[in-house]
Structure 1
Amino acid sequence: MKNPFVLINIFTVTPDDQRRLIDLLTKATGETIKHMDGFITSTLHRSIDGTKVTMYAQWESREKYEAMRRNATASPYLEEALSFAKFEMGAYEVVEIFKKA
């Protein structure tokens, strides 16, 4: 398999909305996104200060990720998140993987 297409999405929220966003992203990923063609894995992170939620996700290709974004089943979750969170998407290619020997 070629190197995956990687997304590091950073959401900025108020501390009062951090749990709400985590619940929404958990639901979106668990019920819909992880079942879509090309999905490999994702990891959800929360900042200690309560102002950020970050999701690291891997897809088989950019094309398969973009197909998911066009899917009507997935888009309402992002629309809801954007109603109370600021979103910064970062798209990356894996250059090197380091593992403990």
Structure 2
Amino acid sequence: MTVTAQIDSTRPVATLINIFTVDPERQDELVALLARATEETMKHQPGFIRANFHASKDGLRVINYAQWESEEHYRAMLANPEARVHMDQAAKIATDVQPRLFQVRSTHGTDTPTGS
């Protein structure tokens, strides 16, 4: 069964877009680590909604697009020692990590009403 991740601009969530730069031969390793960390730890943190991982075709980037109920929930996760272990492991695989919080302002697609 496939579950589609909906991006909802009407909900005031904290959206994390984390850009990892990685050596191409380690891209799969990083994606696997992030997926395992999400299943084992992140999705059990208060306020977690979803995470999606995108691997660039050139092998140089991995994007983590994640949503949290609020910025406070996201910051609480950052302070959690169990979550920190995974983030530290990812930082050792990547050559650069650039996490930023965003607010979804607009979404468009064939399954969304115009202007959503």
TM-score normalized with structure 2 length:
0.81
Show structure 1 runs of 5+ residues with no match: none
* Percent identity of equivalent pairs: 41
Q: Which has the higher contact order (CA 8 A, sep 6+)?
A: 1
Larger radius of gyration: 2
Query: Is 1:27 matched with 2:36?
Result: yes
CA RMSD of aligned residues (A): 1.4
- Cα distance between partner residues in 2 of 1:65 and 1:84: 22
Unmatched segments (≥5 aa) in structure 2 = 1-9
TM-score by structure 1 length?
Answer: 0.93
Q: Separation in 1 of the partners of 2:64 and 2:41?
A: 16
Where does structure 1 differ by over 3 angstroms across 4 or more consecutive aligned residues? none
Aligned residues: 101
Spell out, residue by residue over 1:70-93, the C-alpha distance to the aligned partner (whole angstroms, 9 max, x if none): 001100111111112110112101
Q: In the alignment, what sits opposite 1:77?
A: 86
Shift of 1:99: 4.0
- Which amino acid is the alignment partner of residue 89 of structure 2? E
Note the C-alpha offset of 1:2: 3.7
Please state which structure has a larger fraction of its residues in strand.
1
